[in-house]
Amino acid sequence: DQQVKQNSPSLSVQEGRISILNCDYTNSMFDYFLWYKKYPAEGPTFLISISSIKDKNEDGRFTVFLNKSAKHLSLHIVPSQPGDSAVYFCAASGGSNYQLIWGAGTKLIIKP
């Protein structure tokens, strides 16, 4: 049973608009969350993280929001650019999970 779920396999967004990628988790002990981005034929690269003591973390065009009561986090990209087209993975850790637990990824397509 997946502890980290990315329910949208793909998302298409117009260039310049906001992209919102969602991630849900089931383990209330998770206290650290990360987003990675993956281009074809490359490995995932770290994008942004958030600790459970915060509900928002921002880095340039990328903002991650954490809603602990809903066990939900989201990644906002504003404005979306063609280079943002990639697969985005959500990952979580904490409690007895001393390793990263990954979601299956969401493929983001930015339309020009």
Partner 1 sequence: ETGVTQTPRHLVMGMTNKKSLKCEQHLGHNAMYWYKQSAKKPLELMFVYNFKEQTENNSVPSRFSPECPNSSHLFLHLHTLQPEDSALYLCASSQGTSLHYEQYFGPGTRLTVT
Q: Does 64 bind partner 1 (CB under 8 A)?
A: no
Q: Does 11 bind partner 1 (CB under 8 A)?
A: no
Distance CA 70, CA 41 (A): 34
Place of tokens 């849900």: 24
Q: Give 80 or 89: the residue with its C-beta nearer to partner 1.
A: 89
Q: Does 20 bind partner 1 (CB under 8 A)?
A: no
Q: Does 44 bind partner 1 (CB under 8 A)?
A: yes
User: Closest approach of Cβ 82 to partner 1, in Å?
Assistant: 21
Q: Give 66 or 80: the residue with its C-beta nearer to partner 1.
A: 66
Place of tokens 């992209």: 19
- Sequence length of the chain is 112
Distance CA 84, CA 80 (A): 7
Residue 41 near residue 27 (C-beta atoms within 8 A)? no
Q: Which two tokens stand for residue 107?
A: 């493929």
User: Closest approach of Cβ 46 to partner 1, in Å?
Assistant: 4
Chain residues binding partner 1 by CB under 8 A are: 2, 4, 9, 32, 41-46, 49, 89, 91, 93, 98-105
